[in-house]
A = this chain, B = another copy of it.
Amino acid sequence: MQRALFPALFCGAGANALELRQLQALASDVYFGSGKTIFSEGELADNAFGLSRGIVRIYKRLSDGRHQVLSFALAGDFLGMPLSDQHKYSADAVGEVSLCRFSRSELLRLIVSSPNLMRRLIEFANRELDMAQAQLLLLGNGSAEKRVAIFLISWRNRLARVSASSSSKIVPLPMRRRDIAAFLGLKLETVSRTFARLEEKNVLRVVPEGVSLTGLEETLAAEEIPASHFAGHT
């Protein structure tokens, strides 16, 4: 069984043994079953969470019941910035997830006392900001087809970075169509139709667990939005 994977992933390759140990000392491992809510928008953020294993859907609820998915967190990500004392969005488990739970006040004290960790936190915030801004580009300028295509490529790249090599050419899509749609600012029917259209173009195949990409990026390379903006999602 893996324990407290998050600290190692968060600190990255240049891991400093001390800060790693300090983080782990504060962490307690927790588990959430598929679909469970980890925290909800507006709640007091007594705890901070770091993701060790699995996928977490980060989203904001609109008053009419719609969702905007802000991101899909992967192992190594914080679920929200530990600074604010209130959760600014909700987080649900997509599939089963393992988390590190921290007392936010303890974590904050540790981070503030460690320039190293503080810097890592800024870098994390930076990556989150980059991702959000790339997403703004996509939602502001992309057709449904571009949104889906770029999402798939970006998602595959992110997965590849985390899970080393899942070897198979199939890109798993454990989230539901509805969630993909809510991430891309589309309706689930449109996502479904767009998958179908891309399949007809022979650039991907839809399989029950996800999709397999067969030339999607080449199609995209000829397009207006530089893929470089999206390849680097962390």
**Which A residues contact B (CB, under 8 angstroms)?**
60, 62-64, 66, 68, 70, 81, 83-84, 88-89, 112, 115, 118-119, 121-123, 125-126, 128-130, 132-133, 135-137, 139-141, 182, 184-185, 224-226, 229
Interface SS of chain A: helix
On chain B, the residues within 8 Å of A88 by CB distance are: 130, 133
Contact B122 A68 (CB under 8 A): no
* A–B pairs, 23, beta carbons within 8 Å: A60-B133, A60-B137, A60-B229, A62-B226, A63-B225, A68-B140, A70-B133, A70-B136, A81-B129, A83-B122, A88-B130, A115-B115, A115-B118, A118-B118, A122-B122, A125-B125, A125-B126, A129-B129, A129-B132, A132-B133, A139-B185, A140-B182, A140-B185
Contact B68 A137 (CB under 8 A): yes
B129, B135, B140, B224: the one contacting A64 at CB < 8 Å is B224
